[in-house]
Structure 1
Amino acid sequence: MEPPALSEHAFLAVAVPALAGLLGLAVGSFLNVVAQRVPAGRSVARPPSACPRCAHPIRARHNVPVLGWLVLRGRCFDCEAPISARYPLVEAGTGLAFVLVAVRFGADPEGLRLLPAYLTFAAVAVALALIDLDVHRLPDAIVLPSYPALALLLAVGGDGRALSRAATGAVLLGLFFLVVWYVAPGGMGFGDVKLSGLVGAMTAYLTWGTFLVGAFLGFVLGAVAGVLLMAAGRAGRRTALPFGPFLVVGAWSAILGAGRLGDLYLTSLGR
Structure 2
Amino acid sequence: MIALVAVLGLCVGSFLNVVAWRVPRGESVVRPPSACPGCGRQIRAVENVPVLSWLVLRARCRGCGERISAVYPAVELATGVLFVLVFLRFGLAWDLPAYLYGAAIAVALTVIDIRLHRLPDAIVLPSYVVVAVLLVTAAAGTGDWGALARAAAGGAILFVAYFLMVFAYPAGMGLGDVKLAGILGALLAWVGWGALAVGAFSAFVLGGAFALVLVVLRRAGRGSGIPFGPWMMLGAALGIGAGEQIFSAYLDLML
Structure 1 match to 2:61: 76
Q: Specify the alignment match of 1:235 in structure 2.
A: 220
TM-score of the superposed pair, with normalisation by structure 1: 0.90
User: Equivalents in 2 of 1:266, 1:157: separation in Å?
Assistant: 29
Contact 2:196 2:243 (C-alpha < 8 Å) held by counterparts: no
Aligned pairs for 1:128-143 (under 5 A) are 128-143=109-124
Which amino acid in 1 is paired with 2:30?
A: A
Q: Report the counterpart of residue 162 of structure 2 in structure 1.
A: 177
Tell me, in whole angstroms, the C-alpha distance in 2 between the residues paired with 1:126 and 1:263: 29
Deviation (angstroms), 1:234: 1.4
1:225 to 184, 204, 210: 210
Question: Does structure 2 conserve the Cα–Cα contact (< 8 Å) formed by 1:75 and 1:82?
Answer: yes
Instruction: Answer whether contact 1:166 1:200 (CA < 8 A) is retained.
Output: yes
Q: How many residues end up aligned between the 2 structures?
A: 251
Task: Note if contact 2:177-2:229 (Cα within 8 Å) is conserved in structure 1.
Answer: yes
Aligned residues of 1:209 and 1:264 also touching (Cα < 8 A): no
Aligned to 2:153: 168
Give CA deviations for 1:24-64 in whole Å, capped at 9, x if unaligned: 00000000011111111111111111111110001110100
Counterpart code for 1:209: G
TM superposition shift of 1:266 = 4.8
For 1:252, the aligned partner's letter is: A
Q: Does 1:125 align with 2:106?
A: yes
Contact 2:51 2:77 (8 Å CA) reproduced: yes
> How far 1:125 sits from its partner (Å)?
0.7
SS of alignment partner, residue 146 of structure 1: helix
Contact residue 181 and residue 187 of structure 1 kept, 8 A? yes
Contact 1:35 1:127 in 2 (8 A): yes
Task: Please tell me the residue identity of whatever aligns with 1:52.
Answer: P
Which of 208, 211, 216 is the equivalent residue of 2:201?
Answer: 216
8 Å contact from structure 2 (residues 86, 99) kept in 1:
yes
Q: Secondary structure at the match of 1:185?
A: coil
TM-score when scaled to structure 2?
0.95
Q: Give the AA of the match of 1:91.
A: E
Moved over 3 A (4+): 263-269
Residue by residue, what CA displacement relative to the aligned partner does 1:91-121 show, whole Å, maximum 9, x if unpaired?
0110000000000011xx5xx2111110001
Corresponding residue to 1:44 among 17, 29, 48: 29
- Once the two structures are TM-superposed, the CA of residue 240 in structure 1 deviates from its matched residue by 1.1
CA distance in 2, matches of 1:122, 1:20: 13
Take 2:3 and 2:96, find their aligned partners in 1: how far apart are those partners? Answer: 14
Identity within the alignment, %? 53
SS of the residue 1:113 aligns to: coil
Specify the alignment match of 1:190 in structure 2: 175
Distance 1:33 1:74 in 2: 17
Distance 2:126 2:29 in 1: 15
Q: 2:95 aligns to what SS in structure 1?
A: helix
Q: Following TM superposition, by how much is the alpha carbon of 1:184 offset from its aligned partner in structure 2, in angstroms? A: 0.9
Structure 2 alignment gaps of length 5 or more: none
User: What is the distance in 1 between the residues matched to 2:87 and 2:50?
Assistant: 20
Alignment match, 1:67 = 52
The amino acid across from 1:39 in the alignment is: P
**Shift of residue 256, structure 1, vs aligned partner:** 1.5
Q: Supply the AA of the counterpart residue of 2:225.
A: A
* Greater Rg over alpha carbons, structure: 1
1:33 aligns to what?
18
Rounded to whole Å, the distance in 1 between the matches of 2:152 and 2:248 is: 19
Shift of 1:258: 3.8
198, 201, 206: which is aligned to 2:191? 206
